């Protein structure tokens, strides 16, 4: 997960501070030196790190903090505030034109994720009732047009292309096509290069001059570390970008780009890419990101994800089944499939306060493997067995284990877990005698069951 190293280091600094109780100015200065090192190691631009630490120190050495009963908490709050303000305070969004279509021009280096994110944006806005049109302006790499068509088909959004024609002409024709066909959002997927070069920049400037996009979004791969800032500055100087989409934040990037881009270019991050799937796009909220970096979770994003990705009707049916104690293996499978829709387990769990920061990549991977194993076991059961687990006798268990590539012990464990769940649902609907809130019986990557989620 992005920011893992930074989060770990910051929490170590804060732990040390908390352990001291009362703080002196020297303690804060020492802590801030460590914060600065942590930021630099996370690839934050050195000037940004220096200014950040200076601001936090200035606010933290005041009597108000030092004399307070919880000085360490106050310092953490200041770090949180300053991290948020570094990334731009409020979430910046796309400016929609009052005269449709709104034109969004995507630009960026090769492989940064432009094509994928053109489709992710199209899906995001289609889900909000827009009628997007994707436009293939990357004519130099023939496969790029096909790639856009493939992702366009996946999100069910039309793709406008004219083969290897002049990209400026393509953009112009696409806009008039959009007007004719009622597309209110035009997303131009432009060509990338390995490095910024004059030919590329001129082509983008020409497209800009001819179709006047409302939004020029720069797509930056967060894995390129320190270079992100140079790329952003160069594109901004040449084109005047309106915002940034930071991609691959789900990987093990150190995350410095997220913290430096806005400070150096003055242009906000508008979206972040959190995975290869076309649903894995999140609007960027500086405050929520700061909270994630400080290991305090991001409950708001989790709730929003649940609202958009989970099927409400299915959830209600499931609740009913739990109440009636008829929660079978089919229901368990469908719950797992819903959970998977919310994204990689590591990013979902990382948003839960308390889990965030403590979650290790290995735990999430192990959890992911367990989910796959459970899925394979259920899929190897017959319809009758899924509905009536009591049918599963030893010879059936052997067959299921062989079919799912697991061991009989694994099948036994799953059956036991299902029984425990049944028992728990019974207690919940009848009311547990002790009235205690119980943990769920599933154990993801050794983290214990999570309240409210059956897995």
Ligand X SMILES: Nc1nc2c(ncn2[C@@H]2O[C@H](COP(=O)(O)OP(=O)(O)OP(=O)(O)O)[C@@H](O)[C@H]2O)c(=O)[nH]1
Binding site, by residue number, is: 108-115, 189-193, 247-250
| Shortest reach from residue 16's CB to ligand X, in Å | 34
Q: Which residues, at least 6 apart from 454, have a Cβ–Cβ distance to it below 8 Å?
A: 332, 335, 421, 440, 442
Please state, in angstroms and rounded to a whole number, the distance separating the CA atoms of residues 250 and 349. Answer: 13
The annotated binding site for GTP is made up of 108-115, 189-193, 247-250
Nearer to ligand X, 279 or 331 (CB): 279
What b/e readout covers 24-45, taking b as 16+ CB neighbours within 10 angstroms?
A: eeebbeebbebbbebbbebbbb
Q: Contact between 344 and ligand X (CB under 6 A)?
A: no
Q: Which of 88, 167, 268, 273 touches ligand X (CB under 6 A)?
A: 273
Candidate segments 64-72, 121-129, 169-177, 242-250, binder of ligand X by CB under 6 A:
242-250
Contacts of 406 (CB under 8 A, 6+ apart): 373, 376, 377, 400
DSSP states of 210-265: HH--SEEEEEEEGGGTTHHHHHHHHHHHHH---EEEEE-TTSS---HHHHHHHHHH
Pick from 5, 91, 100, 111: which binds ligand X (CB under 6 A)?
111
**Do residues 147 and 303 make contact, with C-beta atoms less than 8 angstroms apart?**
no
How many residues touch ligand X under the rule CB under 6 A: the total is: 21
What number of helices (H) and strands (E) belong to the chain? 20, 8
Do the Cβ atoms of 186 and 101 come closer than 8 Å? yes
**Residue span binding ligand X (CB under 6 A) among the ranges 35-43, 111-119, 121-129, 259-267:** 111-119
Over the window 139 to 178, marking each residue x when it contacts ligand X by CB under 6 A and - when it does not, the resulting string is --x--x----------------------------------
Task: Decide: is 112 part of the binding site for ligand X (CB under 6 A).
Answer: yes
Nearer to ligand X among residue 183 and residue 190 (C-beta): 190
Distance CA 179, CA 111 (A): 31
Residue 110 interacting with ligand X (CB under 6 A) = yes
* Least Cβ distance, residue 140 to ligand X (angstroms): 9
The CB-of-336 to ligand X minimum distance in angstroms stands at 22
Provide the binding-site residues for ligand X, judged by CB under 6 A.
108, 110-116, 138, 141, 144, 192, 247-248, 250-251, 273-276, 280
């Amino acid at each position: 997960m992005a920011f893992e190293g930074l989060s770990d280091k910051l929490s170590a600094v804060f732990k040390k501070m908390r352990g001291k109780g009362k703080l002196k100015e020297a303690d804060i200065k020492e802590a801030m030196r460590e914060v600065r090192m942590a930021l630099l190691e996370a690839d934050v631009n050195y000037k940004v790190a220096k200014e950040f630490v200076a601001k936090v120190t200035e606010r933290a050495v005041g009597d108000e903090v030092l004399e307070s009963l919880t000085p360490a908490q106050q310092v953490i709050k200041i770090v949180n505030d300053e991290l948020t303000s570094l990334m731009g305070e409020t979430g910046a969004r796309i400016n929609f034109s009052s005269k449709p279509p709104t034109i969004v021009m995507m630009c960026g280096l090769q492989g940064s994720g432009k094509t994928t994110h053109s489709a992710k944006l199209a899906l995001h806005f289609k889900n909000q009732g827009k009628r997007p049109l994707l436009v293939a302006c990357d004519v130099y790499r023939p496969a790029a047009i096909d790639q856009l068509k493939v992702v366009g088909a996946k999100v069910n959004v039309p793709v406008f292309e004219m083969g290897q024609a002049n990209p400026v002409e393509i953009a112009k024709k696409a806009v008039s096509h959009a007007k004719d066909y009622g597309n209110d959002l035009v997303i131009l997927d432009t060509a990338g290069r390995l490095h910024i070069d004059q030919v590329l920049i001129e082509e983008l400037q020409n497209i800009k001059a001819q179709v006047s996009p409302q939004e020029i979004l720069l797509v930056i791969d967060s894995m390129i570390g320190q270079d992100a800032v140079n790329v952003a500055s160069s594109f901004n100087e040449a084109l005047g970008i309106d915002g940034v989409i930071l991609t691959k934040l789900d990987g093990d990037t150190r995350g410095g780009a997220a913290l430096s881009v806005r400070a150096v270019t003055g242009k906000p991050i508008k979206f972040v890419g959190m995975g290869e799937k076309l649903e894995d796009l999140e609007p960027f909220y500086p405050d929520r990101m700061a909270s994630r970096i400080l290991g305090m979770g991001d409950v708001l994003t989790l709730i929003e994800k649940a609202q958009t990705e989970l099927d409400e009707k299915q959830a209600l049916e499931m609740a009913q089944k739990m109440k009636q104690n008829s929660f079978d293996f089919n229901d368990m499978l469908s719950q797992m499939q819903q959970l998977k829709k919310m994204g990689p387990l590591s990013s979902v769990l990382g948003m839960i306060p308390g889990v965030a920061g403590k979650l290790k990549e290995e735990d999430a991977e192990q959890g992911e493997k367990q989910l796959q194993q459970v899925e394979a076991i259920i899929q190897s059961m017959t319809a009758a067995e899924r509905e009536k687990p009591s049918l599963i006798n030893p010879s059936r268990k052997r067959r299921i284990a062989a079919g799912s590539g697991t061991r009989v012990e694994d099948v036994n464990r799953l059956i036991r877990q299902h029984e425990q769940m049944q028992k728990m649902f019974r207690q919940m609907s009848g009311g547990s005698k002790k009235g205690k809130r119980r943990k769920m019986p599933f154990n993801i990557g050794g983290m214990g069951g999570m309240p409210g989620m059956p897995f």
